Structure 1
Amino acid sequence: MPKKYRSDVMAAIHETATDLYKVDGMDRKTMRKFDVLCLTPIQEMTPKKIRALRAREKASQTVFAAYLNVTPSLVSKWERGEKHPQGTSLKLLTLVEKRGLEVIA
């Protein structure tokens, strides 16, 4: 999955920092600081928060699941608290919360 940046400017800054890191022009600790600064942070999602997010976007569980590339039953389980989003799904939910469903459309 491609990295999601806070802005186009942050993307350019992070790309430059990554290039410096690859040629040993920057240490790992400094690179981690650039990651935190430039990349969209991942937030935990509660069942209530996921349900509210889907409602805010006016999407059914089926449509929401299609955007997130998961099954509708998984979205249902997230909303009931039976399972918790992880990895890519959690990152996508964080992006949808910050910028709306159209950002991943």
Structure 2
Amino acid sequence: MTKTYKSDAFAAIHETMSGMYDAGVIDKKTMRQFDEACLTPVHEFSATEIKALREREEVSQTVFALYMNVSKDSVSQWERGLKKPAGPTLKLLSLIKQKGLSAIA
């Protein structure tokens, strides 16, 4: 998965520091600090936001689930607040929020 940076400048800084980490010049703790400073944080979606996003795209829970490669039950549980999406699913939701469902089609 590609990394998303806050800006081009942060991308350059992070890539430089990654090289320094690979060379053993900086430690893991320092690299984590650069990750936090340079990479775009993942947005935690609420149940209401997920439902609004799906409705904005004008698709059913089943179709939304197919695009996201999850079960319809997962989408239903997210929208009711019973469970929360995590990991790559959050990235997909962020991408859909920014660029629409067609971005992952």
TM-score, normalised relative to structure 1: 0.75
| Per-residue deviation, residues 46-80 of structure 1 (Å, max 9, x unmatched) | 11110011112222212221221101121011111
- 2:55 — aligned with what? 55
- 1:83 — aligned with what? 83
The DSSP-based 3-state class of the residue aligned with 2:77 is helix
Structure 1 residue runs without a partner (length 5+) = none
How many correspondences in the alignment?
104
RMSD: 2.5
* 1:40–1:95 contact (8 Å) kept in structure 2: no
* Whole-angstrom distance in 2 between the partners of 1:99 and 1:11: 21
30-39 vs 64-73, which deviates more? 30-39
52-61 vs 10-19, which deviates more? 10-19
| Per-residue deviation, residues 4-29 of structure 1 (Å, max 9, x unmatched) | 31378355553332222111123334
1:30 maps onto 2:30 in alignment: yes
Sequence identity of aligned pairs in percent? Answer: 51
Whose Rg is larger?
2
